Structure 1
Amino acid sequence: MRVALGVSYRGWAYHGWQSQADRQTVQDVLEKGLSQFTARPIQTVCAGRTDTGVHGLNQVVHLDCEVERDLSSWVRGTNCHLPKDIAVQWAMFPRADFHARFDARGRRYSYVLLESVVRPSMEAGAVGWTYRKLDGDLMREAAALLIGEHDFSAFRSSECQAKSPVKTMRTIEIEKYGDYWRFDFDGSAFLHHMIRNLMGSFLAVGRGAKPVEWFAEVLARGERRFAAPTFPPDGLYFTGPYYDAEDGIPTHTAAMDWLPGYRKNREGA
């Protein structure tokens, strides 16, 4: 049968999602735990690969397995074989041809940034950091330039394997909650390092080092060398993909509730 799982993970101990020879990736650890739970070799397909240090709150994967287990067992049983920083959040039996990657209608990421003269300590590795004051209105003006279909080559890693740099950005929301900024991105798909490269350029505009017009010029030029340096992965969260409503794939996990502003956004308060 085909099984779909929602997986959350803290990314700082792993070399990203995708399986690698050193076996220290989220996919490798998850598949090892699933194989131990089912006593069968298990391979998974994910909705979106994340990079080294990036966190996942609702990574959706699918797998095929001839072993029958109830849904609660897929969650609790698998979690018994996983480390504390990776956990299956939910399980469901989707339609037989459901595909975690190809059926996704879009993907969402959030970046959480601390604005403070003092670096983070308790939340080290879980948030980005800037000690400079940021202007939210300027960053929102820059963000508006990205909405729609664009060639995002200027914000693409040289290691990116995507067939096309043209992606559709549906929304970007930028809000501040106390000393924490939250950047929410919703798009058709994202290039390698795309959000981290965008974050570097947002901060250049937000602190006044570059004008909003510079952001438009960088996008139009389409060359990575004209954009700001890549920002650290610490505060970047893959909040998950979304699908047609009839597929019934969950878009919320408990891990999302502690992100700054999440409850407000979710309830429309």
Structure 2
Amino acid sequence: MRNIKLTIEYDGKRYLGWQRLGDYDKTIQGKIEKVIKLMTDENTEIIGSGRTDGGTHARGQVANFKTTSEMTLEDMLAFFNRYLPQDIVVKNVEEATERFHARYNATGKQYSYYVWNAEIPSAFERAYSFYYPQQLDLARMEEACEKLIGKHDFIGFSALKKSKKSTVRTIESISIEQEGSLLHFSFVGDGFLHKMVRIIVGTLLEIGAGSMDVSAIDEIFENKVREHAGETVPAQGLFLDEVYYR
């Protein structure tokens, strides 16, 4: 039995997210599994490094699946990109060890979030960024980022109601880069809770706009109340850039 590792890029705006929902055809996992069935004549579950929400994009999602097919890796790559929709692209196919698991073996991830910060919206950027016209103080936002870096319980920055699993995560770095009207937020960490990046960005925007104080970060860590954080910004600005493995 072979274990095949895929690196996948997708535009998520047409889809309900990564995870297959029954036989529903509007998920990334569902689309890829249909092509694997066509390619190998096997009913196979593909395992992703994690779920991305509806509307979220990926440049470097990682997944694996088991197969008895003897097809070459080169032929698999060509088959995927011939039969998948144009908004889902397999960038790389490789042979993995028998025990490789795309989710359990992941040691970290990098996400990007894009904000269009201008008085006038963009017709072209609207599908891949969040339009936020309020004037922002980048220095205040960067000061807030420093408070977020490190090991913390991020339950107050997540959409989780309760969790039996640990909600402690480590953010290694957060950067904010500006190119014209486009703000690029980059996050690197050992893992991210449900909607955590989108809630952190919403909080940073409110701090930058002056409607929330920088000290709110410390208060949210202390009281662990989701409602004290900023809004959950829309999914279309979020990209999974890379998944890290040892």
Query: Is the 1:33–1:79 contact (alpha carbons within 8 Å) kept by the matching residues of 2?
Result: no
* Residue 242 of structure 2: aligned partner: 240
Give the distance between the partners of 1:137 and 1:220, measured in 2 at CA: 23
Percent identical: 33
* Residue 176 of structure 2: aligned partner: 174
Question: How far did 1:62 drift?
Answer: 0.7
* Residue 208 of structure 1: aligned partner: 210
Query: Is the 2:59–2:242 contact (alpha carbons within 8 Å) kept by the matching residues of 1?
Result: yes
Give the distance between the partners of 2:232 and 2:164, measured in 1 at CA: 18
* Residue 51 of structure 1: aligned partner: 53
Give the distance between the partners of 1:19 and 1:69, measured in 2 at CA: 25
Give the distance between the partners of 1:119 and 1:38, measured in 2 at CA: 46
**Cα distance per residue 1:84-119 (max 9 Å; x no partner):** 111101111122211111111101100011111112
Question: How far did 1:159 drift?
Answer: 5.9
Superposed counterparts of 1:2-81, under 5 Å: 2-21=3-22, 22-81=24-83
Question: How far did 1:162 drift?
Answer: 7.0
* Residue 265 of structure 1: aligned partner: none
Larger mean CA deviation between 189-198 and 22-31 belongs to: 22-31
Letter in 2 for 1:83: P
Query: Is the 1:142–1:216 contact (alpha carbons within 8 Å) kept by the matching residues of 2?
Result: no
Query: Is the 1:156–1:165 contact (alpha carbons within 8 Å) kept by the matching residues of 2?
Result: no
Q: 1:115 to 1:29 in 2, by over 3 A?
A: same
Question: How far did 1:219 drift?
Answer: 2.3
Letter in 1 for 2:165: K
* Residue 184 of structure 1: aligned partner: 186
Gaps of 5+ in 2: none
Q: Given the two structures, how large is their TM-score scaled by the length of structure 1?
A: 0.87
Query: Is the 1:112–1:127 contact (alpha carbons within 8 Å) kept by the matching residues of 2?
Result: yes
* Pairs aligned (count): 244
Letter in 2 for 1:6: T
Question: How far did 1:160 drift?
Answer: 7.3
Larger mean CA deviation between 159-168 and 63-72 belongs to: 159-168
Letter in 2 for 1:129: Y
Q: 1:6 to 1:83 in 2, by over 3 A?
A: same
Query: Is the 2:148–2:217 contact (alpha carbons within 8 Å) kept by the matching residues of 1?
Result: no
* Residue 167 of structure 2: aligned partner: 165
**Cα distance per residue 1:122-162 (max 9 Å; x no partner):** 12211111111212111111011111111111111146767
Higher strand share: 2
Partner of 1:172: helix, strand, or coil?
strand
**Cα distance per residue 1:215-255 (max 9 Å; x no partner):** 221222111011112111111001121112xxxxxxxxxxx
Question: How far did 1:197 drift?
Answer: 0.7
Letter in 1 for 2:13: W
Query: Is the 2:39–2:79 contact (alpha carbons within 8 Å) kept by the matching residues of 1?
Result: yes
Give the distance between the partners of 1:159 and 1:2, measured in 2 at CA: 35
Superposed counterparts of 1:89-100, under 5 Å: 89-100=91-102
Give the distance between the partners of 1:99 and 1:12, measured in 2 at CA: 27
Give the distance between the partners of 1:211 and 1:176, measured in 2 at CA: 22
Partner of 1:29: helix, strand, or coil?
helix
Partner of 1:97: helix, strand, or coil?
coil
Tell me, yes or no, if structure 1 residue 195 matches structure 2 residue 197: yes
* Residue 105 of structure 1: aligned partner: 107
Query: Is the 2:18–2:28 contact (alpha carbons within 8 Å) kept by the matching residues of 1?
Result: yes
Letter in 2 for 1:119: P
- Moved segments of 4+, more than 2 Å: 158-162
Question: How far did 1:39 drift?
Answer: 2.2
Give the distance between the partners of 1:195 and 1:102, measured in 2 at CA: 20
Letter in 1 for 2:62: V
Q: Given the two structures, how large is their TM-score scaled by the length of structure 2?
A: 0.95
